[in-house]
Amino acid sequence: MSHEVRAVVAVEKGAPVEVRTILVPDPGPGEVLVAVQACGVCHTDLHYREGAIDDGFPFLLGHEAAGTVESVGEGVTDLAPGDYVVLAWRAPCGACRSCRRGRPWYCFDSRNAARPMTLPDGTPLSPALGIGAFAEKTLVAAGQAVKVDPAARPEAAGLIGCGVMAGYGAAVNTGRVGNGDTVAVIGCGGVGNAAIAGACLNGARKVIAVDIDDRKLDRAERFGATHTVNSRGTDPVEAVRALTDGFGVDIAIDAVGRPETYRQAFSMRDHAGVLVQVGVPDPEMRIDLPLIDLFSRGGSLKSSWYGDCLPSRDFPILIDQYLYGLLDLNSFVTRTIRLDDVEDAFATMRRGEVLRSVVVL
């Protein structure tokens, strides 16, 4: 049996998205059908629309979502209809060489649903990040649906499925921010502010937010930034060093993903400091650094993919922090919209006017 639902589809490269009727099948073995309650509008969805991820059009967009399990397929034992879940785009297989070595956050064979969602004429859809949640219902692998406390409002809870987890994990899991550390975060959108919040929760004594937009720097202070630097008219490396007694920070997080911000993060570290890149670069970008600086400054240069998270472990922790009043997920939600408003949300996002627009179904 298939379910007819409304969904946001990117039909061709660069074209405005369309709200279409699609067909979502019942779950097969190891799959679950989820009734989506809310889904954030993430830059990655725009990258899919622009053809910057791959050319597998038509795409079913949306991946930052929370909802309830409607039905489960054969062999699914840890989820049941009615369970409240956040969707993850990484579902470790448990069998690859990374999983076997105890590093499931680097899984090489992450699980997705096998049965395709389609247009009414049978054209298969490519779900964004294996999820496709700008839809009234979506089909995912059971491992992608992480059960969390149903007290969390879906508009906020869904955001940990991508942007919040990426930024928070960049600070906590990848950067290993600890008590007394100094931290700089370049780029104060959703991911950057989540990194700021994570650094503060993990005991950083000084968190410096860097951006070219004063509106974003104001928001960063709400998430715990102790200092702000507008790098449009100020050298951010000099400013960060001035705020750290001339030494630089213990952990510098690049939440932008451009060569110039990477070089800034590299140079604003203290001796043996850590650079964490979590901003997604354009595939054509390149970086050039003096090898002697790599050698003499020490430390480490790390990339953080999905915040090096294990969703089954980390999602419930972040939801608990939210419910205890420690992690302000509500402040990431700038506005709520309908499925029909996603194209407008992309334009608003490009203008830097929001942290997140969230589709509510």
Structure tokens at 96: 């690859």
63 is catalytic: yes
CB 266 within 8 A of CB 289: yes
Strand positions, DSSP E, 82-149:
84-87, 126-127, 137-141, 145-147
Catalytic residue among 64, 70, 136, 155: 64
Catalytic residue among 3, 39, 43, 155: 43
* C-alpha 71, offset from chain centre: 26
Helix (H) or strand (E) holding 35: strand 31-40
Catalytic residue among 3, 39, 42, 226: 42
162 is catalytic: yes
93 is catalytic: yes
Burial of residue 343, with CB atoms counted within 10 A of its CB: 0-12 exposed, 13-18 middle, 19 or more buried? middle
- Alpha-carbon distance of 181 to 244, in angstroms, equals 11
List the one residue out of 321, 352, 279, 284 whose CA is nearest residue 160.
321
Catalytic residue among 3, 31, 49, 99: 99
43 is catalytic: yes
Catalytic residue among 6, 68, 96, 103: 96
Burial of residue 328, with CB atoms counted within 10 A of its CB: 0-12 exposed, 13-18 middle, 19 or more buried? middle
How do 269-277 and 249-254 pair as beta strands?
A: parallel
Structure tokens at 250: 């213990």
Residue 123, C-beta contacts closer than 8 angstroms, at least 6 positions apart: 58
Catalytic residue among 18, 93, 258, 335: 93
CB 53 within 8 A of CB 47: yes
96 is catalytic: yes
Catalytic residue among 107, 188, 200, 309: 107
Catalytic residue among 3, 31, 39, 63: 63
Amino acid at 336: T
Catalytic residue among 31, 136, 155, 162: 162
Provide the annotated active-site residues. 42-44, 63-64, 93, 96, 99, 107, 111, 162, 356
